[in-house]
Amino acid sequence: MNCSVIILNWNGRTLLTDCLNALLPQCDASIEVLVVDNGSHDGSAAWLHQHYPQVRLLALTNNRGFSGGVNVGLHVARGDVLLLLNNDAIVEQNFISAILAPFERQPTLAASAGVMTFAHRPEIIASAGIQLYRDGVATDAGLLQPVAQLASQTSPIWGGSGGAVAYRRAALADVGIFDEGYFAYLEDVDLAWRLQLREWQTVLAPQAIARHIYSATGGEGSPFKAWLIARNRWRVILRCWPTPLLARDLPLMLAYDGLACAQAILRRRWTTVSGRLHALRQLPQLRQQHQAIQVRRTASLNDLDRWIKPARSPLAIWRESQALGQLIAQR
């Protein structure tokens, strides 16, 4: 099975050495490695060309975001399986073979997700896929849980995190690649929704582990990241949630936003509010996109709904946020 590994880079020259040195020894002739440089101004492209001539370099003139940059790689990649890997991820031994193995066992499998751990605390999970809640929140499944608690065998999950996930080309040909309207953050949630709507399955490959330097590119807590997440939350909801499920869950979604905006106003974090307002201004376009996506749905509402967990309490969300902040501060 031919595979293309696509690594998106933006001003991450200092990250690429560890990323590529861990990855390349696992790649044989059936695996090509592409680095899409997203208009970096730290010399990444020239440095890659000099030090890693075996890597296929796609140097863009400007930053097209995660979705736009990765899509460039997806368009030119040659593999039957398209593996996305963050430039701030360092794969552990046998990562490639472990994440590709499920495709051999399941000919109709859409995606295989790796496990991302914290680089400075590799015994703790940063992401084991995507978990969806009825308030519209999509989080990293298994976040802050011990890696030792993972089952040893592959298991179905709702969706894979874009930081370490492999997609079958045929599945992307069916549902489409990343929507570039996101720029960055939650575009993998949108793609996971579209795969689920078309009854494509995703599994977690627990032996495919990569250590992740959390938010090395986007910057944890940055205003721009907060704006993107606030806007893109509603982009996902308005594009992807089937109308009956949206009608049921909308009160919970609005309650979540009310609390989030109230907290943001008290802390003078205006991007949390302005991002949501920007999404509302795009409502006519998003409604058209919703119709185009939903008309192709083949999955039953019951099958979709079984993946959506009850909303967590504000206290549970706050505790998780505090614990994550404390863990990040340790690095």
Kindly report, residue by residue over 302-329, the tens digit of the pLDDT. Answer: 999 999 999 999 999 999 999 999 999 9
- The backbone torsions φ and ψ at residue 284, rounded to the nearest 5 degrees and listed phi first, read -60, -45
Domain positions in the chain:
3-212, 223-329
pLDDT tops 80 at residue 218: no
Q: What percent of the chain has pLDDT over 70?
A: 98
Which pLDDT belongs to residue 288?
98
The CA-CA-CA angle for residues 127, 184, 229, to 5°, reads 75
SS3 at position 219: coil
Which pLDDT belongs to residue 291?
98
Instruction: Write down the mean pLDDT value for the chain.
Output: 96
- Rounded mean pLDDT, 210-236: 85
Q: What dotted CATH number matches 3-212?
A: 3.90.550.10
pLDDT tops 90 at residue 27: yes
DSSP 166-200: EEEHHHHHHH-S--GGG-SSSHHHHHHHHHHHTT-
Say what the pTM is.
Answer: 0.96
Question: Do the Cβ atoms of 210 and 93 come closer than 8 Å?
Answer: no
Evaluate the CA torsion angle 257, 260, 264, 270 in order and state its sign. negative
Per-residue confidence band for 220, with pLDDT thresholds at 50, 70 and 90: low
Which of 253-257, 265-269, 304-308 is least confident?
A: 265-269
